[in-house]
Amino acid sequence: MMNTLTFDVNIESSYTIPTPAEIHAELPLSPEQAYKVCAFRETVRNIVTRKDPRILVVTGPCSIDDTSAAEEYAVRLAELAGKVKDKMFVVMRTYFEKPRTTLGWKGFVYDPLLDNTFNMEKGLRSSRKLLLKLVDLSLPSATEFLDPLIPQYFSDLISWAAIGARTVESQTHRQLASGLSMPVGFKNATDGSINVAVEAILTARSRHAFLGISNDGRTAVFSTKGNPFCHVVLRGSSQMPNFGSENVAYAVELMRKRGVIPSIVVDCSHGNSRKDPLKQKGVLSDVISQIVSGQKALAGVMLESYLTTGRQEVSERTKATLGLSVTDGCL
């Protein structure tokens, strides 16, 4: 019996939700779908290790805020992906969690109705349903993992994952990445430091043991093999961008000195675009020029794109314009 004088003093309420196993049973991944995800991941692995000369293009909304708008975007993106498949491998951004420096909407998993009801059970179910639909469209999915318990619910559907600028220094997230089943990109820190991303790669490719939840909802110790397919994501900082050839060359040299095979994805948004979605085009053009000029370490790009250019401030779902970002501005 817990002593209520000292335990959960600041917890207002709590309730249980279905375990990962229960959600998986309700929304299963079929053998045919699993085969597709395995093939997606294999392609991404070959691209980030530069065995496949194509470029990885991770594109989509800054954050998933409505599944119907995301599905419409996915249908259009799947058609485009087929047209450019000889040069590019297109993966859709399906970001369900949003890291916050202070306060703000934390993402679809936490508050799918955008009304502060925090119906996480609905958020988890709806997120998994969307990811299953994308597999059926033969469209790979990418996401950023923030809460270390969330991957148990839908990581089996993810083909590429990111650890963000706010969590790249976190031991918890580096250990998590060491056990993830897909390639992982580590972003440079919010202050622009690339070294912390390289250190994260060194950590994540090693073996670890940490606490988490098993599929049946019990606390478990996970022992990892280490993830050999980690790479750097250059996303700039609030002070300056870092997509230029000199920045890429610096990152390449830093990785080599630390014994990491250079593999870099450039985020055309965030600090590199100064959060102006239209400036992503210029960043992309510069990266393409570097690739054409022979920079072999550049494995891919990230773009923030949605049905409508720009962003909106919303306080609840009924006031939102579908397909217009509620977080960072998108193309």
- Crossing angle of helices 31-48/120-136, nearest 10°? 80
Determine the Cα–Cα distance for residues 274 and 267; give it in Å rounded to an integer. Answer: 11
Q: What percentage of the chain carries pLDDT values higher than 90?
A: 91
- Model confidence over 107-165: pLDDT tens digits? 999 999 999 999 999 999 999 999 999 999 999 999 999 999 999 999 999 999 999 99
Q: What is the pLDDT of residue 5?
A: 83
Q: State phi, psi for 315 to the nearest 5 degrees.
A: -110, -15
Q: What is the pLDDT of residue 102?
A: 77
- Model confidence over 168-211: pLDDT tens digits? 999 999 999 999 999 999 999 999 999 999 999 999 999 999 99
101 — pLDDT class (breaks 50, 70, 90): confident
SS3 content of the chain, % helix, strand, coil (to 5): 35, 15, 45
Q: What is the pLDDT of residue 260?
A: 97
Q: Which helix (H) or strand (E) holds 219?
A: strand 219-223
Q: What is the pLDDT of residue 36?
A: 98
Sequential DSSP letters for 53-65: -SEEEEEE-SS--
Closest CA to 307 of 130, 80, 77, 109: 77
- The answer, yes or no, to whether residue 1 has pLDDT greater than 70, is no
- The answer, yes or no, to whether residue 318 has pLDDT greater than 80, is no
Q: What is the pLDDT of residue 2?
A: 67
Dig out the tokens for 48 from the structure: 């980030």
Q: Are 271 and 238 in contact (CB under 8 A)?
A: yes
Q: What is the pLDDT of residue 275?
A: 92
- Model confidence over 49-68: pLDDT tens digits? 999 999 999 999 999 999 99
Q: Are 192 and 243 in contact (CB under 8 A)?
A: no
Q: What is the pLDDT of residue 104?
A: 87
Residues 6+ apart with CB under 8 A from 84: 57, 90
Residue linked to tokens 């975007």: 73
- Model confidence over 4-17: pLDDT tens digits? 788 889 999 999 99
Q: Are 57 and 88 in contact (CB under 8 A)?
A: yes
- The answer, yes or no, to whether residue 282 has pLDDT greater than 90, is yes
If you average pLDDT over residues 31-43, what whole number do you get?
98
Single-letter code of the amino acid located at 297: A
Identify the sign of the CA torsion 100, 104, 105, 106: positive
Q: What is the pLDDT of residue 204?
A: 98
Closest CA to 229 of 141, 167, 161, 145: 161
> Hey, which bits of 46-120 come out as E strands?
55-60, 88-93
If you average pLDDT over residues 296-319, what whole number do you get?
91
Q: What is the pLDDT of residue 319?
A: 79
> For the chain, what is the mean pLDDT?
96
Q: State phi, psi for 185 to the nearest 5 degrees.
A: -100, 130
- Model confidence over 209-229: pLDDT tens digits? 999 999 999 999 999 999 999
* pTM attached to this predicted model: 0.96
Dig out the tokens for 257 from the structure: 């000195």
207-210 long-range contacts, CB within 8 A, separation 24+: 207/178, 208/174, 208/175, 208/178, 208/179, 210/172, 210/175, 210/176
Determine the Cα–Cα distance for residues 122 and 9; give it in Å rounded to an integer. Answer: 27
Q: Are 192 and 165 in contact (CB under 8 A)?
A: no
Dig out the tokens for 220 from the structure: 């478990």
For each of the domains in the chain, give its residue range(s) and CATH number, in order of start: 20-319 (3.20.20.70)
Q: Which helix (H) or strand (E) holds 92?
A: strand 88-93
